[in-house]
Amino acid sequence: MSWDITGIGAVSALGSNPYEIFDGLCAGCSGLGPLRAFDAAKYRARCAYEIDDRAGPEPDEPFRASRWLRAAVGQALADAGLEGIGSRPVLVGTTLREQRSAELWWRQGTEFSSCDLHFGPTLRNEFGTPYSYTFANACAAALYALGMATDMIELGQADTVVVAGTDSITESAFGSLDRVQNRTPEALRPFDRERSGMLMGEGAVAAVVQRSGTATAGRVHAVVRGVSMSCDAHHPTAPDPEGIVWAVQDAYRRAGVTARDIDLVMLHGSGTQLNDEVEAAAMCQVLGDAVEGPLLTAIKSMTGHTLGGSGLLSLVMAALSLQKGVVAPVLGLNDPIEQARSLRLVRGMAATADLAVAQVNAFGFGGINAVAVLEKGA
C-alpha cells in the first residue's frame, strides 16, 4: 500500500511557503540571525534560526506556533484543492507545543489557558475540524504523526489525513540547551569536524496525505512508500546506532526497497557531537556497498533545528527535490567527520541528479526513531 502527498505547506526562517524555503536551501541561504525572542545577554549562544514576524513593541508575543500552524495547514489544503478540513483528522507533531506562550503568561501576564498547550482549539476555530491530535514525540514527532496517518488510512478510518508540525523557540528550552552543550555554537554545522552543537529554529509544516488514487484535484507531490517508527529506549539523550539501523531497515522493508534503490537521504543532522557521528556510522552500515550510494543532505544547517516538525519539513523538501532533481547542500560543511567521509554529502552548492526515491530520517531523545521512504510523484 502507498499514500499520496497531495498538498504541502510550510513556514520557516527561510521563507513563508515551501517553494521559498526550497529555493533558499538550494541557494545556500541561512536563516541564522541574532536572538530576538528574549534577552540574549543571559546566555552563551546569542543567535538562532527565528522567524522575524513580531508586530508589536515587545521582543516576543504569544501563540506564534499556532499562527504558523494555521498558515501551513491552510497552504496545504489549498495546494491539495480542498476547500476545508471538514471531518478529516489533523495530526500535529511538536516538541514544545505552546510552551513559549505559557512563559509569556508567567512573565508578562499575557492571556493563556492550559487548553492552548495543544492545537485543537486553534485548528477548530480556523478550520472547524472536530478531530485533531497533538503528539509530543520530541524531534521525531511529525514523522510519527505521518506514520500514524498512513495507519489510519490503511485501517479505513480516513481517506485523507492532514499531518503537521510546529514549534517556536522557548526560553526554557534554549537556556537548557545552552547550559548542557560543552561548546557554544555560532551556527549549526552538521557532520563538520568543527561543529559545536545544535541551535534552535522555528516554523511549521503541513502535508495532506490521501489514499493513493483518491485525490480529486491537484498533483501528487510524492508517494509515501513506508514509515518506520520505533523507540529503542537506549538512553535519555545518547542515540543507539543499532536502533537507528533497525529503524532504517524496517522502513526499507515496509516500502519494499533496498539501499540500492535510495537516491536521496535527508539526514537528521542535528550538528551535535554524538548524534552526527552515530547517524553517519549507521548510514554507512545500512548503505554498505550500494553502488555509488545516494546523495545526502541536512537542511538544519540552514533552517536550524525546527524540533517536532523538522522531520516533516525534511520530507516536504525531499518531495520538492524529487520533483525538481535538485538537492540542497549542507551549509558550513568544510571538513566532514571521519564517519561521514564515505558518504556522498552534498557540499558547497546544490547538486542536480535524476531522483526517484528518497529517505527521510528523524531521531529524538529517548531513542525515538522515525524514518520515511518517498517515491517521486506523478
pLDDT at 58: 77
pLDDT exceeds 90 at position 144: yes
- Over residues 174-185, the mean pLDDT reads 92
Least confident of 11-25, 56-70, 188-202: 56-70
The whole model's pTM is what?
0.96
- Over residues 332-353, the mean pLDDT reads 96
Nearest-angstrom CA–CA distance, 191 and 143: 22
Angle at 346 between CA 188 and CA 228, to 5 degrees: 75
Nearest-angstrom CA–CA distance, 317 and 299: 9
- 306: which DSSP letter? -
Nearest-angstrom CA–CA distance, 162 and 139: 19
Domains of the chain listed by start with CATH number: 3-211 (3.40.47.10), 224-376 (3.40.47.10)
Confidence of residue 65 (pLDDT cuts 50, 70, 90): very high
pLDDT exceeds 70 at position 7: yes
At residue 12, the 3 state secondary structure works out as strand
pLDDT exceeds 70 at position 71: yes
| Longest pairwise C-alpha distance within the chain | 59
Block residue for cell numbers 514527532: 141
pLDDT exceeds 80 at position 289: no
**What one-letter code names the amino acid at 361?**
N
pLDDT at 290: 67
Distances (CA, A) of 265 to 171, 214, 296, 306: 32, 28, 5, 18
**What one-letter code names the amino acid at 115?**
C
* pLDDT tens-place string over residues 85-133: 888 999 999 999 999 999 999 988 888 888 888 999 999 999 999 889 9
pLDDT at 241: 87
pLDDT exceeds 90 at position 217: no
Residues 6 or more apart in contact with residue 256 via CB below 8 angstroms: 225, 226
- Angle of helix 99-108 versus helix 171-180 axis, rounded to 10: 100
Nearest-angstrom CA–CA distance, 76 and 207: 6
Residues 6 or more apart in contact with residue 56 via CB below 8 angstroms: none
pLDDT at 19: 98
Cβ density class 10-20: b for 16+ within 10 Å, e for less:
bbbbbbbbbee
Q: Which three cell numbers stand for residue 36?
A: 530576538
Angle at 25 between CA 336 and CA 172, to 5 degrees: 80
Contact 14, 24 (CB under 8 A): yes
* pLDDT tens-place string over residues 227-275: 999 998 888 888 888 999 999 999 999 999 999 999 999 999 999 999 9
Percent of the chain with pLDDT over 70: 99
pLDDT at 237: 80
